[in-house]
Every structure is written in C-alpha cells, then in structure tokens.
Amino acid sequence: MTLILLFIVSIPLFFLNFFWKTIEGILNLRKFDYKIPGPPTSPILGNVQTFRNKSTVELNQIFLDAAEKCRNSKSNYMKYRILDKLFVLPLDGKSAAILVSCLDEFSDSPNPIDIFPFIKRCALDIICSAVMGTKVDAQFDHNHPYVNAVEEFSVLVIQNAINPIFQIPPLFWLLGYQKQKEECIKVMKEFSMNVISERKAALDSGEIEKETRKRKMNFLDILLKESSLSSEDVRQEVDTFMFAGHDTTTSSVSWACWNLAENPEVQEKVYKELVEVFGEDEDVTYEKMSKLEYTERVLKESKRLVAPVPMVQRKLISDLEIDGVTIPAGANISISPMLIHKNPEVYPNPEKFDPDRFLPDEISKRNAFDYIPFSAGLRNCIGQKFAQINEKVMIANILRNFRLEPCGVTKPALEPIARPSNGVPVKLIRR
C-alpha cells in the first residue's frame, strides 16, 4: 500500500520536475510583459499563440543560451585572431568542382531538380576541410555517419525552435527525440574528437609540420597550438564553426541560385563576367574572385532579399528607449535583418532583386546598419570573409557550367536559418 502511495505521489513530482524550467522561464518573461507594447500575452501560454508557425519565444531562448555559453568561453578573444588566418586558407575549388560533376547528371533533363541538398553537401565538405582539415566526402558518401548526424541534428534543432511541443521534456523523451538527439551528439562528438586526437598526435610526432609558411594551417591546427585549451574546448570551438558555417552558407548560396534563376537577365550578366574573368582557365584563385564585382553585388543583394539568419537575439543589459518606449534591462530582444533589409525608405521597391543597390555610390547613401546579414557589433559573424569567398567560388562553378531556370515556387521557411521551403527546384541547362 505504502509503495502504491509513494508511486502515486511521485508521478506529479516527476512531471513538476520536468516542467519546472519551463514554468520558471514563463514567469521570468511575464515580469517584462506589461512594460512592452505588442500583442497581448496569455497566462502560461505567453506569446505562443501569436508566434505559432512563425518565430517563437523558445527560439529566442535557444539563441540566448548559445550566446551565453559562447560569451563565457575562454577562447572567445582568440577567435578574432583566427579569423584572418581562416581567410587565407587555400580556396577549396575542388569541392565546388565536385558539386558541378554531381549536378551534371541532371543537366538537360526535362524534369526539375532540387539543387538544395547538393549545395548543402558541398558546403559541408568545404567547411569540414577548412575547419578540421579532414574530408568527409559528403558529396559522394551520403551515408557518412557524421554527415547523417549533422543533418539529423539540424532538423531536431529547428523543430526544437519552432515547435512548442518539443519544449515539453517528457513529450520530447516519449516521442523518442531525446534518444535520437543524444545519438547524433554522440556520433558528432566522437567524430570531431577522433579527428582532433589524430591531428594532435600527428603534430606532436612531427608527422605533420607545425606552422610553416609552406602549409597554411586549418582552424583546428590553430586551436591546437593554443596550449591553454583542453581537447574538450577545442572540440566545442570546432563544432561551433561547423554549425555556424555550413547551414548559413547553404542558405545563402541556395537563395543566390534561386534569385538568379528568377532573374535571367542578371544571370546572363554574371555569366558574362565569369567568362571575362576565367576565360578558358579553370583555376579558382583569390585574384579572380576579387575581380567578380558584379557577382559580388548579386550575392549581397541576394542576402538582402533573404537574410540567411532572419533574426539575432540579445539580452538588454540596460534600459533601451526606442521611439519613446522603454524596453527594460533584462528583456530578450530580437533584431531582424530580414525586416531591416525590407525597409522601403532605405530600399525602394524592396521585393525587387536589384544588384545595383550595392554599387559603391548607392552604398554610401545608406547607414552601415541598414544591411546586416552577418549581424553587427562585437558578436557579428566571425566567418563572414570566409563565407563570402566560398559563396563566390560555388556560384562561379555552378553558373559557368549551367543556366538555371526556375520551376515552381519556394519561400524562406521561418526557421533559425532561412531554408528555402521547397528547396531550389530548377532546370539545369548545360552551358
């Protein structure tokens, strides 16, 4: 009898324990509710109704937790030094060339092909070799355990951000997602840890020469040189770069392809520029990339039209007054590059795709904060130079080989990274 009683009492306690964090979070948020103008919030549910299928308060929390962790990381300062080095890595023209050969199979087919997964696997290959100095060959080996784990985990993170059901730990667990998440993390951790240990051993034994002028170092080598970092610190940094780098680049290149497909006259101008700069020479060099001025404007305009990171989050450390409304210190706020980029006072006819908005004269008329695809301030994107050069390499390879024709419709999904909801459905016409 006592056992049964104990069992009955323990069930609500068990659930209260699971829910406590959620309840605490809601109570904390409600402290600020009444001071902030905007859609009314209901008890317990808060803004869930308003944000359902759009963005969520939970989404904010995920970003805030990540930012908090990063802020406390001891290698934070170091990242800024690494940035320059990451930029001078040899260009990865090989991965982009593989992308072309993978797409070639579908060229001139009467059926449309979604090129989004191809771009994603190429971005993963590029980032893996730049960050870890290793190959996962995602473009060939679609069943590579690391690649599968990264993809599965990304889906779970997105679901976690947009689906309030995922915020209820017992449900998350009961539906089997917790186990799936843990397995993905295990595979990813083991993979990066193995790469780190092997690289460390090779560096220590002299099998791979330490920093030399001949061999440009990858991100992992630079981290391993920092004696203050434990292997776990290094792993966390590597994983951050992997995750911050590959989905964002995928989104950006995908939208550039889509916008080019939808704007054939712009696409032809890019192709003309590529022919002028490359001629018959296949080699991808920094010099050639710097000459692709029109292509650069196209990529910038594409990130204006669809910001790959639609929102960034901050926690206010002091009161902030905007237009006579005070937002109190401690509030979580979202800043939306997506909305800022569509301000008609700054960008007339904002839905129009017009790369000439990024001619030097036009840029000089605007405030620097009118265009923030990589965010702004101290915590802006650390990989932006690296990202921009790789975007160019991928677009140059695709467009030199294919003409893109749009098929169907695709829209930015309201997720932490603006994935095209319907992929990038195009016809590939061989040049």
412 binds ligand HEM (CB under 6 A): no
373 binds ligand HEM (CB under 6 A): yes
Stretch that binds ligand HEM, among 23-31, 105-113, 373-381, 404-412 (CB under 6 A): 373-381
252 binds ligand HEM (CB under 6 A): yes
- Interacting residue with ligand HEM among 146, 371, 374, 402 (CB under 6 A): 374
Neighbours of 30 (CB within 10 A): 13
Q: Indicate the residue whose CB is closest to ligand HEM.
A: 383
231 binds ligand HEM (CB under 6 A): no
> CB 133 → ligand HEM: shortest distance, Å?
13
Could you write out the DSSP letters of every residue in 138-161?
TTT-TT-HHHHHHHHHHHHHHHHH
Task: Report how far apart, in Å, the C-alpha atoms of 63 and of each of 70, 249, 307, 346, 416 are.
Answer: 10, 19, 17, 28, 9
Q: Which residues are bridge partners to 412 per DSSP? A: 420
Stretch that binds ligand HEM, among 13-21, 262-270, 275-283, 383-391 (CB under 6 A): 383-391
- Give residue 320's identity as a one-letter amino acid code: L
- Interacting residue with ligand HEM among 312, 338, 340, 399 (CB under 6 A): 312
Stretch that binds ligand HEM, among 39-47, 320-328, 368-376, 407-415 (CB under 6 A): 368-376
The two three-digit tokens of residue 40, written as one number: 């009314």
Nearest residue (CB) to ligand HEM, 76 versus 107? 76
What is the three-class DSSP state of 336? coil
> CB 166 → ligand HEM: shortest distance, Å?
22
Nearest residue (CB) to ligand HEM, 160 versus 252? 252
> CB 254 → ligand HEM: shortest distance, Å?
10
Buried b / exposed e along 307-335 (16+ C-beta atoms within 10 A) = bbbbbbbbeeeeeeeeeeeebeeebbeee
**Under rule CB under 6 A, how many of the chain's residues touch ligand HEM?**
21
Contact 119, 404 (CB under 8 A): no
386 binds ligand HEM (CB under 6 A): yes
> CB 252 → ligand HEM: shortest distance, Å?
4
- Interacting residue with ligand HEM among 355, 383, 420, 423 (CB under 6 A): 383
Listed residue (89, 93, 390, 73) closest to 222, CA to CA: 89
- Cα-to-chain-centroid distance, residue 59: 15
Binders of ligand HEM among 61-90, rule CB under 6 A? 70
Tell me whether residue 102 is annotated as binding: no
The two three-digit tokens of residue 14, written as one number: 């068990």
- Interacting residue with ligand HEM among 56, 144, 245, 398 (CB under 6 A): 245
Helix axes 384-401, 293-305, angle to 10 degrees: 110
- Interacting residue with ligand HEM among 147, 274, 284, 387 (CB under 6 A): 387
In the chain, helix, strand, coil percent, each to 5? 60, 5, 35
User: What residues have CB less than 8 Å from 245, skipping those under 6 apart?
Assistant: 123, 127, 131, 383, 386, 387
- Interacting residue with ligand HEM among 346, 375, 405, 407 (CB under 6 A): 375
Nearest residue (CB) to ligand HEM, 331 versus 403? 331
Q: Which residues are bridge partners to 428 per DSSP? A: 404
Report phi then psi at 314, rounded to 5: -140, 155
- Interacting residue with ligand HEM among 249, 302, 397, 410 (CB under 6 A): 249
Stretch that binds ligand HEM, among 40-48, 242-250, 264-272, 341-349 (CB under 6 A): 242-250
Residue-level length of the chain = 431
Which chain residues interact with ligand HEM by CB under 6 A? 70, 240-241, 244-245, 248-249, 252, 308-309, 312, 373-375, 379-383, 386-387
- Which residues fall in the annotated binding site? 381
